[in-house]
Homo-oligomer: A and B are copies of this chain.
Amino acid sequence: MVSRKEVAQMAGVSEATVSRVLNNVGPIKEETKQRVREAAERLGYYPSAIAQNFARRRSGNLGVVLPYVPKVHIFSTYYFSEILNGIGEQVRELGYDMLLIFRKPGLDNGYIDLFRSQKVDACILLGTTDTPEERKALKELKDEGYPFCLVNQHFDDEQFPEVDADHEQGAYHAVKHLLEEGHRRIAFLNGPPQYSNSTDRLKGYIRAMTEAGIFKRKNDFTETIPPAWLGTGNYSRTSGYEAASRFFQNRDCIDAVFAANDRMAIGLMQGFRDLGLVPGVDIAIAGYDDSDGARITDPPLTSVSVPFYQMGKAAAKWVLLRASGSTTDAEETGAADPLYQIQMETNLVIRSSSMSNQTSLE
């Protein structure tokens, strides 16, 4: 193996200069740099990146922590794949690699080891949930000043860097649309409450139904919601399919169902069809995410489009600019601000699943 000494001799510089050039440390004349690089290349000298990184205290990696979801093909879900597409695009532009870290069940020792051990220079956390352990782990990251960002999750009463979408507004528009189509008795199949986007959507649903005079304003709005109208799934197609039979038992008091994502909406549609109700004819359905699936179901699914790609890209840009300490584009990306909190707009896409016979009769 070629040694640093040989490179130094060929370039006519000291060994320390070879290290400084190849590690990009300190000010060195352009001509000297050129000579050292040529000598290193001609001799085939490859200093270990680990040694280089040890000197520079950086890994060149953006960490992306993925949730542990048993049995789910995570790269095949629209939600994660679009966020990863956006992160990937930004990583590529800024010359980083992308380290995917699969979270183990149970939060071992938080996220901080990723930084302490210098496996990553910055980190994006996907699929975090609102639990005491998670809050503790995130507070630790924040207190130590590490560059991290949450995507599509926020924590009430906590100021963490996050790129989110306005899911309350998204749900509000979807339910308002169902109301405008003449539906009144609108059920809501939500996701688990430890995701902030679930609770945000519940707020939007309640706001639209209250404005329409269907729910009454009390101290706790949820008191006036008929229990049969609220369901909880786990964002899987199967959980939507199973919910269909529960709603079906109350079919005489339900005109429409709004589901908190498209996978559950598609499961609902399949479930209703198997029970003899035709979606878009006997019962109206609206979904959320505007995934590829929404365009190709029969009938096509009314859904709320969320800019996941842009959210991933924005989060990656912000954490990487903070990690590099770059002030370029600082204003544009908010990298100068230690607390980056963005909420992007959603957009309702109307298709025929949100119609029904009743609509045309009224």
Residues of A whose CB lies within 8 Å of any CB of B are: 46, 48-54, 59-61, 73-76, 78, 80-82, 84-85, 88, 91-92, 97-102, 113, 116-119, 292-293, 296-298, 309
Contacts and interface: CB of A to CB of B under 8 A. Distances in A.
Given A48-B118, A75-B85, A84-B75, A99 B102 contact: no
Tell me if A's interface is mostly helix, strand, loop or mixed: helix
A212 to B, nearest CB: 34
Copies of this protein, total? 2
A78 B50 CA distance: 34
Contacts of A73: 81-82, 85, 309
A244 to B, nearest CB: 19
Contacts of A81: 73, 75-76, 81
A61 B99 contact: yes
B117 A48 contact: yes
Nearest to A68: B92
Contacts of A117: 46, 48-50, 52
A99 B101 contact: no
Contacts of A116: 46, 48-49
A106 to B, nearest CB: 14
Contacts of A92: 102
